[in-house]
Homo-oligomer: A and B are copies of this chain.
Amino acid sequence: MTREAKSQKQGNIKKRGKIKISKYAPICKWLPKYSKYQAISDAIAGITLGLTMIPQSIAYATLAGLSAQYGLYSSFLGGFLYAIFGSVKEISIGPTSLMAILTMEFTKGTNPDFAILLAFLAGCVEFLMGLLDLGFLVDFISLPVTAGFTSATSVIIIVSQIKGLLGLKFQSANLIDQMVKICQNLMNVKLGDTLLGVSTILILLCLKNLSNVKFTNDGLRHVIVIKALWFFSVGRNALIVLISSVITFYLHQAGQTPFVLSGTVQSGLPSIKLPNFTTVVQNQTYSFMDICSHLGSGIIVIPLVSVLANVAIAKVFSSGSGFNASQEMRTLGLCNLLGSFVSSMPICGAFTRSAVSHASGIQTPMAGIYSGILTMLALSFLTPYFYYIPKTVLSAVLISAVIFLIDWKIVQQLWRGSKRDAIASIGTFFVCIILNVEAGLLVGIVFNILYLLYLSARPAIQVTERMVTLELKYLSVQPDVGLFFPAVDFIVNKISEIADERASDNIPIVVDCQRFRGVDYTAIKGLERLSKDINERNQCLWFVNLNSKVTNTIQKLGDLNNLKILKDESEVIAILCEHDSESIINFKFVKEKPKKEIPMQTIITPIEVESLLTKEHNINPQTKNRSS
């Protein structure tokens, strides 16, 4: 080995070690290269995120049936941990509408201890799934399903925010209930909130396009203008919240409050302690097992939905580089597990906040640290000031963040190109809207999986008639994919049919197994049955191009003597050339398995056969010895 090669190899090892660490803590990958530009972008995004997170978390805590401070308790640790272990910069871990609704469902009529323990247990399950590398499970969410899910979530969020935008106040169970109640309350719409909200949306949409403005000259002054526009564009959410709060504050001081405000938030950081494993609800003591049985399927549903949500967000935002789903599971697990020590409810990546981060020009997960610090500051000192954020402005921020995520065009494109994908997408969308998002995702995934299973059950079979000489022909039958149990009956019936059709000219049938990735017991028994049937009718059925793995499995699960196995098609030709039709059927097949895996297929096309026969090396010399 030359010196260069050695040093290159050492470099490779070093590189691999780094890749290994950065696989578990992606911060190692981006922190050494962290630039000023990224720092500023992250600070802006982080503050915007924090300003979105604080009122959101209060709202979601109420939705989960908890008091306001639990929302804020759930908001900071996720950001800190995700900055270290997270791989998709846009994801903001914290309370979400999805988690809030599910927490409500599984802890209804209990106390906060149940929600905190649910976070703890969900964290354990998530971390375990990550350790077991079950991340591949999320590969089964296809893009069309993700698109349907995204659009549906966006619609749900928009509808849920219309209430705040119009200054209305009511409780609602689901999307349809929301819409009905909005219509019923149209009389109570507050003009001030509506005007402020709608104009905020319009301003935000204008500001969004600011960074796209093109200029012709490019002096220094011009550069400053472009930078300022970019700043206004990415910082638009934070800016609008600050400005509107300041205006409201002065109006409030002047004795006027034309808008619905976010209201008071209880101060103080949570204490760090283990979640309570026993608790008392209405004079009844619940042991750990009682709580677990009360939470029931929630201990599995919450982790699954939160991982699905995280990965769905990751699939929308992660471009090129990809992400590791198992790592996301482990990170989510840590966030929930450690979060439960600071009285957090179950948390996961929020679609709304991810959209805000993205729109704010986030560069690394560092933004989560800024938003986390902001939440902690809010809990400690700032609570009186957040009082003045108008609710309608927050609704406007959320609506303008998600409105562009509704993708109608993809459905048109899918419908033209792949009906199956289109149906998966539309189905996911409507089930998400009508039932709930978990059901929608599930329907989409199951629909997609059914097609994959159908493919394994109904492989394509390529049948080619090959000519060796004018008299000597054989039928080559090549099933694609492997041969596993769902496909066996189909292939066996198909080959039987072919044999029936060609019974008159007694043509040998050669099953080309080169595409078999594996074989199972059901398949072997099916092939043995087929072989027996066809041989009893004095027709030839040979198997060629089996790889060593398949041959081994056949040897262990069945009997190689029941199948007539040849090495490859050149052996078939050799036998056909040396025997007449009578003796071919009685040809004895050697009992030994092929010594080595056949490295590459050699297909004999009608034209090529002649030339192949003249090349002596292509016909296995052993064949002659065997048949003599």
Taking Cβ atoms with an 8 Å cutoff, the residues of A that contact B are 136, 139-144, 319-320, 322, 413-414, 416-418, 420-421, 448-449, 451-458, 460, 480-482, 484-490, 492-493, 515, 517-518, 520-522, 525, 529, 532-533, 553, 556-557, 600-601, 603, 605
List the B side residues contacting A480 at CB < 8 Å: 481, 515, 517
B452 touches A456 (CB 8 A): yes
List the B side residues contacting A601 at CB < 8 Å: 603
* 20 CB < 8 A contacts A-B: A136-B486, A139-B457, A139-B489, A142-B485, A142-B522, A143-B521, A144-B521, A320-B532, A320-B533, A417-B557, A420-B520, A421-B520, A421-B522, A452-B484, A453-B453, A455-B517, A460-B517, A480-B517, A481-B481, A515-B515
Residue among A421, A457, A484, A486 with max Cβ neighbours from chain B (10 Å): A486
A167-B521 Cα distance, complex, nearest whole Å: 42
Residue of B nearest to A482 (CB): B455
Q: Among B144, B322, B448, B603, point to the contact of A489 (Cβ < 8 A).
A: B322
List the B side residues contacting A143 at CB < 8 Å: 485, 521-522, 525
For residue A551, give the distance in angstroms from its CB to the closest CB of chain B. 12
Residue among A319, A413, A448, A481 with max Cβ neighbours from chain B (10 Å): A481
Using A139-B485, A600-B605 as known contacts, list a sample of 7 further A-B pairs with CB atoms less than 8 Å apart, ordered by residue number in A.
A142-B521, A418-B520, A421-B521, A451-B484, A452-B486, A455-B482, A456-B456
Q: Among B140, B322, B493, B557, point to the contact of A457 (Cβ < 8 A).
A: B140
A264-B587 Cα distance, complex, nearest whole Å: 65
B457 touches A136 (CB 8 A): yes
Q: Is the interface of A mostly helix, strand, loop or mixed?
A: helix
A557 touches B413 (CB 8 A): yes
A13-B569 Cα distance, complex, nearest whole Å: 34
A605-B599 Cα distance, complex, nearest whole Å: 11
List the B side residues contacting A448 at CB < 8 Å: 485
List the B side residues contacting A452 at CB < 8 Å: 452-453, 456, 484, 486
List the B side residues contacting A603 at CB < 8 Å: 600-601
Residue of B nearest to A421 (CB): B521
A606-B486 Cα distance, complex, nearest whole Å: 38
A127-B172 Cα distance, complex, nearest whole Å: 42
List the B side residues contacting A518 at CB < 8 Å: 455
Residue of B nearest to A555 (CB): B417
A556 touches B416 (CB 8 A): yes
Q: Among B484, B486, B529, point to the contact of A320 (Cβ < 8 A).
A: B529
A454-B136 Cα distance, complex, nearest whole Å: 8
Residue of B nearest to A462 (CB): B600
List the B side residues contacting A525 at CB < 8 Å: 143
A452-B482 Cα distance, complex, nearest whole Å: 10
A119-B457 Cα distance, complex, nearest whole Å: 31
A188-B458 Cα distance, complex, nearest whole Å: 57
Residue among A139, A458, A517 with max Cβ neighbours from chain B (10 Å): A139
A417-B553 Cα distance, complex, nearest whole Å: 6
A115-B250 Cα distance, complex, nearest whole Å: 74
List the B side residues contacting A453 at CB < 8 Å: 140, 449, 452-453
List the B side residues contacting A420 at CB < 8 Å: 520
List the B side residues contacting A141 at CB < 8 Å: 485
A591-B556 Cα distance, complex, nearest whole Å: 51
For residue A149, give the distance in angstroms from its CB to the closest CB of chain B. 13
List the B side residues contacting A414 at CB < 8 Å: 521, 557
Residue of B nearest to A486 (CB): B139
Q: Among B142, B454, B492, B517, point to the contact of A322 (Cβ < 8 A).
A: B492
List the B side residues contacting A139 at CB < 8 Å: 457, 485-490
List the B side residues contacting A136 at CB < 8 Å: 454, 457-458, 486
For residue A564, give the distance in angstroms from its CB to the closest CB of chain B. 18
B493 touches A322 (CB 8 A): yes
A417-B550 Cα distance, complex, nearest whole Å: 10
A240-B484 Cα distance, complex, nearest whole Å: 44
A416-B556 Cα distance, complex, nearest whole Å: 7
List the B side residues contacting A142 at CB < 8 Å: 485-486, 520-522
A518-B419 Cα distance, complex, nearest whole Å: 13
A525-B315 Cα distance, complex, nearest whole Å: 12
List the B side residues contacting A484 at CB < 8 Å: 451-452, 455
B457 touches A418 (CB 8 A): no
For residue A119, give the distance in angstroms from its CB to the closest CB of chain B. 29
A421-B556 Cα distance, complex, nearest whole Å: 12
For residue A408, give the distance in angstroms from its CB to the closest CB of chain B. 15
B557 touches A521 (CB 8 A): no
Residue among A485, A488, A525 with max Cβ neighbours from chain B (10 Å): A485
Residue among A143, A449, A532 with max Cβ neighbours from chain B (10 Å): A143
A172-B485 Cα distance, complex, nearest whole Å: 37
Residue of B nearest to A599 (CB): B605
List the B side residues contacting A533 at CB < 8 Å: 320
List the B side residues contacting A418 at CB < 8 Å: 520-521, 553, 556-557
Residue of B nearest to A139 (CB): B486
For residue A2, give the distance in angstroms from its CB to the closest CB of chain B. 15
Residue among A449, A460, A553 with max Cβ neighbours from chain B (10 Å): A449
A532-B600 Cα distance, complex, nearest whole Å: 31
B319 touches A529 (CB 8 A): yes
A413 touches B485 (CB 8 A): no
For residue A607, give the distance in angstroms from its CB to the closest CB of chain B. 10
Q: Among B140, B490, B529, point to the contact of A485 (Cβ < 8 A).
A: B140
